[in-house]
């Protein structure tokens, strides 16, 4: 029996990151399954969102002189906007700073604490601030964080712990007994390997004195919740209280889709958290691979981050959606190149699918004035085509269970190729020459168009925009969502008498000369300078009032690890400014120094103290260097 509710999630993205194709990849993959299931008539809930608490957010907000809440209210929009451009059909967007989320996190903490699943203990260990994770001595890689290789600090403090360790055997059994639980199988084995070592309890708190930007523990206001414990709960907080979740029919989720880097947190932390709460783990956690660019990891410093908005502008949204899922088997790593993308666009989309549509619609116009004829005959070629269609539909349905996107697309292209061959073999241009041939021609043209209709439905989850346009060209006005997969269960759904409509090519070919030009543009450093939405005009820049100022006083802000409170003389007045520089500068070294101040920044309160400006500094891996001058310019001088 067909399951009638389906729940799929993406990870919630760190709000600080600029969205790139890695983020787009997970989201598009989840979107395709969500769209497919809806076409099957299933009630789908598809969730994505942003992860908005933690050290990095607090730090970044500090750096720009705004409150963390203001910061995340602004930044999360970049993800929302990109998902609209990429035609992502999510049913909701969860932000971890929303009250509906925070409430469930607090309720779960309270419940687990009252059941002694969470306890207080003293802890000594090595802490990596950027990763916000504790490590034991033996975890360290040559004394550094094993994950990011940066320096770690020895910390001794009281914290709260979730009794994760006691679920170790349960988890091992669960993974071993359910082959569908963690996929692909190779990743499942990695998790089992990880579980061979004793599983320790999980530290789920951070002292507020070190990190204020988090959900306060309901049973101890001196602590906030560890960001992963908070974030993972997003998958259920969307459905309300624990009782609401059970009643919603959307838990356990069908797929928690994640990248390979965050499989452990999901397979181990998340599953055991759910077990303790009394909920089932998700039916499946699928870990996909990572995209590199020309063999290298994407990173801002290498300037090789592939920006999806730019790709959409250049190639169109459906080409990107198609390429990312066709190029690499889901689960494996892949290398992104614009050249490969252009190659796929030209061959699969323009030459094969696009050409099939063009010639069918053109011949329909030429031989039948655009009116779809009633099929008249039934020969062996027709039978072979309809059988192929049936086989492809059946296999695609099975392949969706494995999230084997590239195989699904390969399979669908078998129907594209078979239909092109059908036209070549039957030769409509010859049939049109004789009266007997004209009868046969009706069937051939009908079947070619019908096959395209089937392709339109099958490809709709991957290319929602282009397939709607394909349907219109065939004379079908009803949206594909209304037609559904059931409309292709039987051959012959296209109504004779429909009026085809010639339109512009769905996927124009990129000729060699143009391709060379695009490749040079995209791969040259100029790419950075192109207006990709980040650029500002000189007038906009001039709105920022930069002035020199002399530091008169400096003192550390109590309870803050980073902030120093400064009194700065900016010529016309003295300003109180907070700067997150205390890890790199001592207050006494700052007095008398000339710095650059953003003088017209809206005042903001940090830790209850008003900051009336911002000091410019370079920040390199946590090392802060104040911007300055090689000669003394004097106070209140404009900087341009």
Cβ atoms of 617 and 581 closer than 8 Å? yes
Which residues are CB-contacts of 252 (< 8 A; sequence separation ≥ 6)? 7, 279, 280, 281, 282, 283
- Least distance from C-beta 13 to ligand MSP, angstroms? 4
261 or 589: CB nearest ligand MSP: 261
Under the phi-then-psi rule, with left for phi > 0, alpha for psi from -120 to 50, and beta for the rest, what region is 608? Answer: left
Q: What is the dihedral of CA 233, 235, 238, 244, to 10 degrees?
A: -80
Query: Could you tell me the smallest distance in angstroms from the CB atom of residue 82 to ligand MSP?
Result: 13
Q: Does 17 bind ligand MSP (CB under 6 A)?
A: yes
Site string (298-317) toward ligand MSP, x via CB under 6 A:
x-------------------
Residue with smaller CB distance to ligand MSP, 174 or 266 = 266
Interaction of residue 322 with ligand MSP, rule CB under 6 A: no
| Cross-strand bridge partners of residue 125 | 155
Nearest one of 53, 74, 187, 162 to 111, comparing CA atoms: 162
Q: Considering only residues 580-639, where is the footprint of ligand MSP by CB under 6 A?
A: none
Total binding residues toward ligand MSP, as defined by CB under 6 A = 20
- Out of 39, 258, 317, 614, the only residue in the binding site for ligand MSP (CB under 6 A) is 258
What are residue 595's DSSP bridge partners? 549
Residues 26-55 that bind ligand MSP (CB under 6 A): 26, 51
Give the tokens for residue 256: 């928690």
**Among all chains, which residue has been given the structure tokens 């009706």?**
442
**Can you tell me which of 68, 184, 259, 464 binds ligand MSP, judged by CB under 6 A?**
259
**Contact criterion met (CB below 8 Å) for 322 and 416:** no
Of the candidate residues 23, 53, 338, 562, the single one contacting ligand MSP (CB under 6 A): 23
Q: Using DSSP, state whether 532 is helix, strand or coil.
A: coil
Q: 14 or 400: whose CB is closer to ligand MSP? A: 14
Half-sphere exposure of 266 (CA within 13 A, CB side): 28
Closer to ligand MSP at the Cβ: 334 or 428?
A: 334
- Binder to ligand MSP among 6, 7, 8, 11 (CB under 6 A)? 11
Taking CA 190 as the corner, what is the angle to CA 264 and CA 168, rounded to the nearest 5 degrees? 60
Q: Are 601 and 614 in contact (CB under 8 A)?
A: yes
Q: Which residue's C-beta sits nearest to ligand MSP?
A: 259
Nearer to ligand MSP among residue 258 and residue 268 (C-beta): 258
Q: Decide: 270 and 281 in contact? Cβ < 8 Å.
A: yes
Q: Does 96 bind ligand MSP (CB under 6 A)?
A: no
Cis peptide before 610 (omega within 30 of 0): no
Binding status of residue 22 toward ligand MSP by CB under 6 A: yes
**Minimum CB separation from ligand MSP for residue 56, in Å?**
10
Decide whether 297 or 495 has the Cβ nearer to ligand MSP.
Answer: 297
Q: How far is the CB of 34 from ligand MSP (least distance, A)?
A: 17
Tokens of 45: 């809930």
Residue 336 touching ligand MSP (CB under 6 A): no
Least gap, CB of 335 to ligand MSP (angstroms)? 11
Q: Which stretch binds ligand MSP (CB under 6 A): 18-26, 34-42, 140-148, 400-408?
A: 18-26
**Binding region for ligand MSP (CB under 6 A) out of 244-252, 290-298, 401-409, 566-574:** 290-298
* C-alpha to C-alpha distance for 256 and 290, rounded to whole angstroms: 17
Per-residue buried b or exposed e for 154-175, using 16+ beta carbons within 10 Å of the residue's own CB: eeebebbbbbbeebbeebeebb
Interface residue list for ligand MSP (CB under 6 A): 11-14, 17, 22-23, 25-26, 51, 231-232, 234, 258-259, 261-262, 290-291, 298
């Amino acid at each position: 029996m067909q399951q009638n509710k389906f729940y799929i999630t993406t990870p919630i993205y760190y709000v600080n990151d600029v969205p790139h194709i890695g983020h787009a990849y997970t989201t598009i993959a989840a979107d395709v399954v969500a769209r497919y299931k809806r076409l099957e008539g299933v009630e789908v809930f598809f969730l994505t969102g942003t992860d908005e608490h933690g050290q990095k957010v607090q730090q970044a907000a500090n750096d720009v002189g705004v409150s963390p809440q203001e910061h995340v209210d602004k930044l999360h929009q970049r993800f929302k906007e990109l998902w609209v451009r990429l035609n992502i059909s999510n049913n909701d967007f969860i932000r971890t700073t929303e009250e509906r989320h925070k409430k469930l996190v607090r309720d779960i903490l309270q419940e687990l604490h009252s059941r002694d699943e969470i306890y207080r203990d003293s802890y000594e260990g090595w802490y990596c601030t950027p990763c916000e994770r504790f490590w034991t001595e033996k975890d360290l890689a040559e004394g550094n964080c094993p994950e990011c290789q940066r320096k770690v600090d020895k910390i001794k403090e009281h914290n709260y712990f979730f009794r994760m360790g006691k679920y170790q055997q349960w988890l091992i059994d669960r993974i071993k007994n359910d082959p569908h639980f963690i996929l692909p199988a190779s990743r499942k084995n990695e998790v089992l390997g990880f579980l061979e070592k004793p599983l320790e309890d999980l530290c789920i708190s951070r002292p507020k004195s070190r990190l204020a930007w988090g959900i306060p523990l309901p049973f101890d206001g001196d602590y906030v919740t560890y960001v992963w414990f908070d974030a993972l709960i997003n998958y259920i907080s969307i459905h309300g209280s624990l009782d609401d979740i059970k009643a919603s029919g959307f838990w356990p989720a069908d797929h928690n889709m994640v990248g390979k880097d965050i499989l452990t947190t999901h397979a181990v932390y998340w599953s055991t958290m759910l077990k303790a709460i009394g909920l089932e783990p998700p039916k499946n956690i699928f870990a996909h691979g990572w995209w590199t660019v020309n063999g290298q990891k994407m990173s801002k410093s290498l300037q090789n981050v592939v920006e999806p908005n730019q790709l959409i502008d250049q190639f169109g949204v459906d080409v990107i959606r198609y390429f990312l899922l066709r190029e690499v088997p889901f689960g494996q790593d892949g290398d992104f190149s614009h050249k490969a993308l252009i190659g796929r666009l030209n061959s699969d989309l323009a030459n094969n699918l696009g050409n099939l549509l063009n010639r069918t619609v053109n011949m329909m116009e030429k031989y039948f004035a655009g009116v779809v004829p009633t099929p008249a005959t039934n020969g062996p070629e027709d039978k072979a085509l309809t059988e192929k269609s049936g086989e492809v539909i059946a296999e695609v349905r099975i392949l969706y269970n494995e999230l084997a996107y590239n195989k699904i697309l390969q399979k669908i292209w078998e129907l594209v190729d078979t239909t092109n061959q059908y036209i070549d073999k039957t030769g409509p241009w010859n049939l049109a020459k004789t009266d007997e041939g004209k009868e046969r021609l009706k069937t051939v043209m009908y079947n070619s168009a019908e096959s395209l209709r089937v392709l339109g439905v099958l490809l709709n989850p991957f290319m929602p925009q282009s397939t709607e346009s394909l349907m219109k060209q065939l004379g079908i006005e009803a949206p594909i969502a209304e037609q559904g997969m059931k409309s292709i269960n039987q051959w012959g759904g296209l109504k004779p008498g429909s009026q085809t409509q010639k339109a512009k090519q769905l996927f124009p070919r990129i000729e060699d000369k143009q391709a060379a030009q695009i490749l040079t543009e995209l791969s040259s450093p100029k790419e950075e300078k192109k207006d990709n939405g980040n650029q500002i005009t000189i007038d906009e820049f001039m709105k920022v009032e930069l002035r020199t100022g002399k530091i008169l006083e400096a003192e550390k802000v109590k309870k803050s690890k980073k902030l120093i409170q400064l009194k700065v003389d900016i010529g016309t007045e003295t300003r109180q400014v907070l700067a997150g520089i205390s890890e790199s500068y001592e207050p006494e070294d700052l007095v008398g120094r000339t710095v650059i101040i953003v003088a017209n920044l809206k005042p903001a309160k940090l830790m209850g103290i008003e900051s009336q400006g911002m000091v410019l500094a370079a920040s390199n891996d946590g090392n802060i260097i104040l911007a300055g001058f090689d000669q003394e310019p004097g106070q209140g001088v404009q900087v341009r």
